Amino acid sequence: MITEPDGVDVVRTAADAAALERPPLLIVDTVAAYLQQEGLGDGTLAWERIGEGQSNITYAIRSGGRDLVLRRGPRPPLPPSAHDMAREARIQRLLADAEVPVPAILAVCEDPAVLGVPFYVMARVDGEVVTDTLPAPFADPEQHAPLAFAAVDALADLHAVDVASGPLAGIGRPDGYLERQVRRFAGLWAGNTRRDLPLVAELADRLQGRIPRTQRHAVVHGDFRIGNLMYATGRPPRIAAILDWEMATLGDPLADLGYFTATYARPGVRETPLELTTVTRGEHFPDTAHLVERYTRRHPLDVSDLGWYEALALWKAAVFCEALYTRWRAGERPGDTFGPTLEEGVPRLLEAAHERMA
């Protein structure tokens, strides 16, 4: 872990932060003092940025012998209602009460004097995140199918949580969820782009014209993929925690299933920027059809329109990624290596969405 600030993303004091043109992501002294005040540290701090997220920012923190995780939004200015750290933490606490595997939330800070933006602190979960390489416990080909099945089982478990009553019933408005998603992301495009990609509007019209009937309501994670799962160390593969609840709400569970299958990398399927866990292209991983069949054993839903849900996921990702690309081109994401790839990555997402709608 790091103990010396770089003076750009991490600074030592609030005075150091005030001297910068762009606000830092971490202020060591104020965060250390806050953790000590909350009984979570001893006034010292070591840190390391973790995760692959392109939206909210996550740091592994060590203070007073405790391993913690701090999660905050990106640098201001922030869009209205986006990056709501207090809401994200509250949802995870409610899910923990419902026995969904999530990290324990230890503190929520909305005081701008500490870091400039709201953030929360959670317990660090020991385990493995699977992206472009397989951790040693799962390198054996016999573990590949169980790894993928553990993911889809966790999704089915999440969608089995009761949302008809109790505190979770208040985290969203499930009626009209799909219509709102199409309308919202169609409206975001014009403000997020500086180029002409006609397929965005064409797909918006086609998605709007073919919205499926929602068969049931559930907690919708909004970014459910293997890279947002923490696997417990050891065999067989088991989910220790589901991560990244920024977009969680109530809605149509097939939106999660479609997102999961659209981001699940397989041979012969067009590569997109959403394929962040490329290891599943390996021959011993199950096909998407097997994952869908396993899910529908738990939730016997009509999945004949799953292509629509996959197209929605890819189209929404194109809109989101275009915003990142525009910010990178404007110089607002210095050092970003993901932004430049989106010049071609966003069109690939749109083409993949178009294929799913065929």
* Both structure tokens of 186: 């169609």
Arithmetic mean of pLDDT over the chain: 95
Instruction: Please report, rounded to a whole number, the percentage of residues in the chain having pLDDT higher than 70.
Output: 97
Is the predicted pLDDT of residue 334 greater than 90, yes or no?
Answer: no
Residue carrying the six token digits 């809109």: 319
Instruction: Please report, rounded to a whole number, the percentage of residues in the chain having pLDDT higher than 90.
Output: 90
pLDDT score, position 276: 86
Is the predicted pLDDT of residue 7 greater than 60, yes or no?
Answer: yes
pLDDT score, position 165: 93
* Both structure tokens of 302: 């009509």
Burial of 21 (0-12, 13-18, 19+ CB in 10 A): exposed
Is the predicted pLDDT of residue 319 greater than 60, yes or no?
Answer: yes
Average pLDDT over residues 47-67: 89
Cα separation, 332 vs 101, whole angstroms: 35
Average pLDDT over residues 276-286: 94
> Are 260 and 152 a contacting pair, CB within 8 Å?
yes
pLDDT score, position 80: 55
Average pLDDT over residues 330-352: 92
Residues listed for the chain: 358
Question: What's the CATH class of domain 136-357?
Answer: alpha beta
| 316: CB partners within 8 A, 6+ apart | 181, 185
pTM score: 0.94
Cα separation, 141 vs 109, whole angstroms: 44
How confident is residue 300, by pLDDT bands cut at 50, 70 and 90? Answer: very high
Higher pLDDT, 75 or 198: 198
pLDDT score, position 100: 98
Task: Annotate the chain with three-state secondary structure.
Answer: CECCCCCCCEECCHHHHHCCCCCCCEEHHHHHHHHHHCCCCCCCCEEEEECCCCCCEEEEEEECCEEEEEEECCCCCCCCCCCCHHHHHHHHHHHHHCCCCCCCEEEEECCHHHHCCCEEEEECCCCECCCCCCCHHHCCHHHHHHHHHHHHHHHHHHHCCCCCCCHHHHCCCCCCHHHHHHHHHHHHHHHHCCCCCCHHHHHHHHHHHCCCCCCCCEEECCCCCHHHEEECCCCCCCEEEECCCCCCEEECHHHHHHHHHHCCCCCCCCCCCCCCCHHHHCCCCCCHHHHHHHHHHHCCCCCCCHHHHHHHHHHHHHHHHHHHHHHHHCCCCCCCCCHHHHHHHHHHHHHHHHHHHC
pLDDT score, position 79: 59
Is the predicted pLDDT of residue 53 greater than 90, yes or no?
Answer: no
Pick the CATH number of 10-123 from 3.40.50.300, 3.30.460.80, 3.30.200.20, 3.90.480.20: 3.30.200.20
How confident is residue 54, by pLDDT bands cut at 50, 70 and 90? Answer: low
Query: Tell me: the pLDDT tens digits for 69-115?
Result: 999 998 876 655 567 999 999 999 999 999 999 999 999 999 999 99
- Cα distances (angstroms) measured from residue 3 to each of 11, 35, 148, 197: 11, 16, 37, 45
Average pLDDT over residues 20-24: 93
Average pLDDT over residues 5-31: 96
Q: What are the extents of the domains in the chain?
A: 10-123, 136-357
